[in-house]
Amino acid sequence: MAKLKVGVLISGRGSNLQALIDACADKDYPAEIVVVISNVPGVAGLDRAEAANIPTVAIDHKAFDGREPFEEAVGEALSAANVQLVCLAGFMRLLTEGFVNHWRDRLINIHPSLLPAFRGIHIHERVIEYGARFSGCTVHFVRPAMDDGPIIIQAVVPVFQDDDPDLLAARVLAQEHRAYPLAVRLIAESRVRVADEQVVIGDFRSQDGAMINPAPE
Ligand code: GRF
Which atom of ligand 1 is nearest to 15's Cα? Answer: 14
Q: Would you say the CB of residue 147 lies under 6 angstroms from ligand 1? A: no
Average pLDDT, integer, range 94-119: 98
- Catalytically annotated residue among 61, 111, 124, 177: 111
pLDDT at 31: 98
Gap from CA of 120 to ligand 1 centroid (Å): 12
Closest protein CA for atom 10 of ligand 1: 90
Pocket probe for ligand 1: among 11, 33, 110, 124, the residue whose CB has the most ligand atoms within 8 Å is: 110
> CB under 8 Å to 146, separation ≥6 — which residues?
94, 119, 120
pLDDT at 1: 82
Sign of CA dihedral 88, 93, 94, 100: negative
Gap from CA of 200 to ligand 1 centroid (Å): 25
Angstrom distance (rounded) from CA 127 to CA 136 = 10
Angstrom distance (rounded) from CA 24 to CA 66 = 34
Which atom of ligand 1 is nearest to 110's Cα? Answer: 4
pLDDT tens profile 3-35: 999 999 999 999 999 999 999 999 999 999 999
Nearest to 108 by CA among 138, 81, 82: 138
pLDDT tens profile 110-167: 999 999 999 999 999 999 999 999 999 999 999 999 999 999 999 999 999 999 999 9
Angstrom distance (rounded) from CA 91 to CA 12 = 8
pLDDT at 82: 98
Closest protein CA for atom 1 of ligand 1: 90
Gap from CA of 89 to ligand 1 centroid (Å): 6
Gap from CA of 122 to ligand 1 centroid (Å): 12
| Catalytic site includes residue 111 | yes
The one-letter code for the residue type at 127 is: V
pLDDT tens profile 66-83: 999 999 999 999 999 999
pTM here? 0.97
Gap from CA of 1 to ligand 1 centroid (Å): 30
Which atom of ligand 1 is nearest to 112's Cα? Answer: 4
